[in-house]
Amino acid sequence: MNLTEVAQDAIQQALKRGATDAECTISEGSEFSASVRLGEVETLKEAGSRGAGLRVLIGRRMGSSYTSDLTPEGIRQMVASAVDLAHLTTEDPHAGLPDASELGSLTEDLQLFSDEVAGLAADKKIDAARRAEAAALSFDPRITNSEGGSFDSNIAGRVFANSRGFAGSYRSTYCSVSAVPVAALDGKMERDYWFTIARSFSGLESPELVGRTAAERVIRRLGAVKVETQRVPIVFEPRVARSLLGNLFDAVQGSSIYRQASFLAGKLGEKIACDKITLIDDGTIPGLFGSQPFDDEGVPSRRTPVIEKGILKNYLLNTYTARKLGMKTTGNASRGITGNAGIGHGNFILEAGEKSPEQIIAGIKNGFYVTELIGSGVNIVTGDYSRGAVGLWIRDGELAFPVSEVTIAGTLQEMLTDVAEIGNDLEFRGSVSAPTIMIGEMTVAGR
Amino acid sequence: MAFSDSFFAAKFGITQHDLESYLSDALSRGGDYADLYFEYLATSSISIDESIVKSATQGVSLGLGVRVISGERTGYAYSDDLSPEKIRHAAQVAAMIAAGPAKVEKTPLNEGPRRNLYPVITAPSETAFRERVELAQRADVAARAYDSRIFQVQVVYADNLRQILVATSDGMLNWDRQPLSRMSVFVLAKDKDGVPQQGHAGGGGRHELDWFRTERTPEYFAQEAGRQAIVQLGAVEAPAGEQIVVLGPGWPGVLLHEAVGHGLEADFNRKGVSAFSGRIGQQVASPLCTVVDDGTIGGRRGSLNLDDEGNQSQRNVLIENGILRGYLQDKLSSRITGAHATGSGRRESYEHIPMPRMTNTFMLAGESAPEDVIKSVPRGLYCANFAGGQVDITSGNFVFSASESYLIEDGKLTRPVRNATLIGNGPEAMKYVSMVGNDLKLDEGVGICGKEGQSVPVGVGIPTVRIDKMTVGGTA
């Protein structure tokens, strides 16, 4: 049996045991990773694994189970387990699979898979890691140490089938190269990182560029000071602007909305951000990391405008949360092997503006250019935002000196309406993509 | 219990001879050390939302990881299939890290010392599912009854039972059965027309299911979550800038985990990339501070009979009266630096390479009465609960996010404040500890620590502590 047949067989077994509906997800993956530190190979890892997950419904009661054992006995136990559990859960009027009319798969080639990745020789991969680290180490004498260069690749397969007639599968690949140099000045160390990621080996940026970029990033952190507490304009570079989009995703996904656990609950159609903000979720763009032909309930991926010129247009939903809200799924169901479908994003993209980052910075007399955020201090329920920050102080339109051990704070509501500029530097490095974002004013807490 | 009666021998027919033979395969190209890690994990979870049991899941995963160390190099491979061919294949892939003829002679395996810090006869995972559903339902009922302003309640109960077997080329054979369970309650409350606020509480450990009936009931967690949400309804903006900060006992021990714990993991220190590298014997905290990492406390979430490299966990003193005493080791780091094992080699699963990790990290009690600590502060912030933290090992900068805190005015707790992040620098922050309470408390048992993509359960603890200077990331 191929994996699609294994999934379909599990569904048939569930129906025979009394389930009224069932769906089965199978994933398989093989990973390779190599890390090189100070020029020497440090770690090589290579392996593969598989797993299956099953969700069954008995009327409006739901149970789920999973296994890493895809033998007939393993599948049989998985089915028995899910059916047993469905007898223990509560009737939920909104539980159920998507309607048959909602199921389907994109037919165009999304360019998620490259044969090249499977055929790549180990020494070529190790060499990429070595070159990235070497480029970082040779960039500046203040780079005295390294956490290494690394190469990672992954080949994955996904199968999904349900009792309403859907069966689909797709394969995907990715590879990435990264470097993590450490620099020191006056006995104080800093580290930073940079990476490139692509569906194919030939789509990667050069390891040397990765190493040099990581090196530039760590060097500019040396000699950081803590500034005084004050309110100033804040500029998020693209890497940290992406984390802000991550917070917004949490606030627009359906399960936060129906529970009223988001500051954006009940705000559909309202102006929640300044006109400059247009935020799109799009799972259909060929070659990108958030693209897939169908979601984890068998609903085709699509393009969903989330915020258009500051107006909240859509929440991101799976079948369950859509029914709770009296809406239609947006094809954003996402699950691993265990549990039920939650919600994920496709390519979550903040549209670019017109100014370059340099032009944005040039317009600021006194402000903070943020290059790293740490901690989890974002409360989606209230919108309260307070995170540890690292970056460069802006003085008279230029990046003047490095800053660390400070926090930036405000609320997501105010930040959205106070966006002063959006940069033209949108790039795709992962499934969340943002250009530079400038916020009019936030509190920087330091000395 | 003899090996032949252990879980993997009984269920999968694995013999000592098989293990020795796989280890030989792993060392066939001349590695210095190899180990095998078998893992069988059964998990269950229940989620109640809107008083509906919306999700009930259970499942199993099984696999084996093979590691080969050659000098400072590590080769790693794993398989989710325990057939001899697949195990041999994994061993041969891991062996590729070394190049040359085999040089280690086959080592006979000896059963390592055994003990039981969690003598759980029936693991929660082995009880009737319905019993666990009923416990979770009790939490839902209690949270809704706590206050009429509570309008959303979510209860998650999760447990797992992990069986591990470790065999190493230095001759050690050992195994462990590790039960773990937790319950978490999330609530939302609001005043009429007001902004919702959240409260969260939970706990668990390596106990029988009865622990949730006798020691920490669903009602206890529900009321605590409800209390926190109601407190937050009256919260004012948090201050911004340097403040005197008092940490309450228990969960605020996450400070130690972030500020010093990670920085003392031996991998970072061996490589010289931690802010604590090369500082053993130096003053890194006030003399009032003694910090230990102790994996041997009975029943605790972070406790382990055996770490994931087959060593028994220990009580390790990290900081003694302010002086840095030692690092947390894994096999690789202790081999390279010649340090003694500390029982700190942990991994998320058989798919992962072990690393030095914390277990239960806490500060020993001092002499001050907690009320005197608060009374001593003319103006500052009292933090009762945190939502987690993060650290940059290299610079030493760490943050942790307060989820329940209060202004201190003239030695008294006054108004609750909104969520704020606190930030400091590891080797510096704890020099400002000026009072340590006599009320050491460990957390309730929900901690998860993430490092390089691997999550493991941990515990933290701290007595009431006064820190004279720390930056608070509020807006006021």
Model pLDDT, residue B194: 86
| Co-location of A209 and A324 in the same domain | no
Burial of B62 (0-12, 13-18, 19+ CB in 10 A): buried
Amino acid in position A8: Q
Domain boundary at A186, A219, A252, which? A219
Residues A212 and A228 in one domain: no
Same-domain status, A287 and A179? no
Judged on CB neighbours under 10 Å (0-12, 13-18, 19+), A187 is exposed
| Least CB–CB distance from A382: residue in B73, B77, B195 | B195
- Distance between CA atoms of residues B379 and B368, nearest Å: 19
DSSP notation for B49-89: ETTEEEEEEEEEEEEEEEEEEETTEEEEEEES--SHHHHHH
Q: Does the pLDDT at position B103 exceed 80? A: no
| Digit-coded pLDDT (tens) for B359-373 | 999 999 999 999 999
What whole-number percentage of chain A has pLDDT above 70? 100
From CA B28, how far away is CA B101, in angstroms rounded? 7
Check whether B106 has a pLDDT greater than 80. Answer: no
- What is the end-to-end Cα distance of chain A in Å, rounded? 65
How many domains would you assign to chain A? Answer: 2
CB–CB contact A388 B423 (8 Å)? yes
Tens digits of per-residue pLDDT, B113-169? 999 999 999 999 999 999 999 999 999 999 999 999 999 999 999 999 999 999 999
Q: What is the pLDDT, as a whole number, of residue A357?
A: 98
Whether residues A204 and A335 fall in one domain:
no
Tell me whether B275 touches chain A (CB under 8 Å).
yes
Cβ of residue B54 closer than 8 Å to a chain A Cβ: yes
CB proximity under 8 Å: A 116-155 to B: 145, 147
**According to the model, what pLDDT value does residue B102 have?**
81
The first and second tokens of residue A355, run together, are 């100014």
On whether the pTM is more than 0.90, the answer is: yes
CB-based contact, B57 to chain A, within 8 Å: yes
Q: Do residues B361 and B355 lie in contact, with contact meaning Cβ atoms separated by under 8 Å?
A: no
pLDDT above 80 (res B105):
no
Q: CB-based contact (8 Å) between B453 and chain A?
A: no
The answer to whether the CB atoms of B273 and A63 lie below 8 A apart is no
Task: Name every chain A residue with its beta carbon within 8 A of the beta carbon of B471.
Answer: 226, 405-407, 445-447
A145 vs B63, B79, B272: nearest CB: B272
Same domain, A96 and A231: no
The type of residue at A216 is: E
Q: Supply the pLDDT for residue B100.
A: 82
Q: Which domain holds residue A76?
A: 3-219
Q: Which chain A residues are within 8 Å of B135, Cβ to Cβ?
A: none
In this complex, the residue of A40, A47, A191 whose CB is nearest that of residue B79 is: A47
Q: Are A24 and A96 contained in the same domain?
A: yes
- Give the span between the Cα atoms of B408 and A283, in whole angstroms: 50
Query: Whose CA is closest to A301, among A279, A285, A288, A323?
Result: A285
- Low-confidence stretches of chain A (pLDDT beneath 50): none
Q: What is the pLDDT of residue B419?
A: 87
Please check the confidence at residue B1 and state whether its pLDDT lies above 80.
no
Separation of CA B347 from chain center? 11
What is residue B252's predicted lDDT score, i.e. its pLDDT? 95
Q: Between the CA atoms of B333, B334, B339 and B342, what dihedral angle is there, to the nearest 10 degrees?
A: 100
In Å, how far are A170, A172, A177, A178 from A116, measured between CA atoms?
Answer: 17, 12, 16, 19
Q: Both A289 and A434 in a single domain?
A: yes
Q: Write phi, then psi, for B201 (nearest 5 degrees).
A: -150, 155
Residues 324-343 of A with CB under 8 A from B: 337-340
Phi, psi torsion values for B249, nearest 5 degrees:
-75, 155
CA A264, CA A239: separation in Å to the nearest integer? 24
| Burial of A396: CB neighbours in 10 Å, binned 0-12, 13-18, 19+ | exposed
Closest CA to A281 of A296, A302, A297: A302
A209 and A249 co-located in one domain? no
Compute φ and ψ for A71, nearest 5 degrees: -75, 165
What proportion of chain B, given as a percentage, has pLDDT over 90? 94
In sequence order, the β-bridge partners of residue B38 are B64, B165
AA identity, residue B375: K
Q: Closest by alpha carbon to B398, among A387, A445, A241, A246? A: A387
Q: Is the pLDDT of residue B104 over 80?
A: no
Which CATH number does the domain housing residue A90 bear? 3.30.2290.10
- Residues A327 and A431 occupy one common structural domain: yes
Smallest CA-to-CA distance from A70 within A26, A14, A15 is with A26
Q: What is the pLDDT of residue B330?
A: 96
Q: What is the pLDDT of residue A383?
A: 96
Strand spans (E) along B321-464: 323-324, 345-346, 355-356, 360-363, 379-391, 397-409, 412-417, 420-425, 433-436, 441-442, 448-451, 454-457, 459-462
Structure tokens at A180: 């993590």
* A155 and A239 together in one domain: no
Q: Which residues contact A219 (CB under 8 A, 6 or more apart)?
A: A139, A140, A142, A143, A183
| Confidence at residue B23, expressed as pLDDT on a 0 to 100 scale | 96
Averaged pLDDT for residues B213-228: 98
pLDDT of residue B443: 96
Domains of chain B: 3-233 (3.30.2290.10), 240-473 (no CATH)
Judge contact between A52 and A78, C-beta under 8 A.
Answer: yes
Q: Phi and psi dihedrals of A30, rounded to 5?
A: -130, 140
* Residue written as token pair 């004050």: A230
ipTM of the complex: 0.94
pLDDT score of A210 = 98
Q: Are residues A264 and A213 in the same domain?
A: no
Q: Which of A219, A248, A276 is the last residue of a domain?
A: A219
Of B406, B410, B412, the closest CA to residue B378 belongs to: B410
Cβ distance of A45 and B419 shorter than 8 Å: no
What share of chain B has pLDDT > 70, as a percent?
Answer: 100
| pLDDT at residue B459, as a whole number | 97
Could B273 and A145 be called an inter-chain contact, meaning their C-beta atoms sit closer than 8 Å?
Answer: yes
Which residue, of A196, A219, A242, is where some domain finishes?
A219
d(CA B406, CA B474): 12
Q: Give per-residue pLDDT as tens, B258-301.
A: 999 999 999 999 999 999 999 999 999 999 999 999 999 999 99
Nearest chain B residue to A255 by CA: give it.
B49
Q: pLDDT tens digit string along B161-202?
A: 999 999 999 999 999 999 999 999 999 999 988 889 999 999
Q: Count of residues for chain A?
A: 447
Closest CA to A7 of A21, A20, A22, A26: A26
Do the Cβ atoms of A145 and B271 come within 8 Å?
yes
- The continuous run of DSSP H or E covering A83 comes out as helix A72-86
Q: Are residues A126 and A259 in the same domain?
A: no
Is 80 exceeded by the pLDDT of residue B240?
yes
Per-residue pLDDT tens digits for A195-214: 999 999 999 999 999 999 99
pLDDT tens per residue across span B388-417: 899 999 999 999 999 999 999 999 999 999
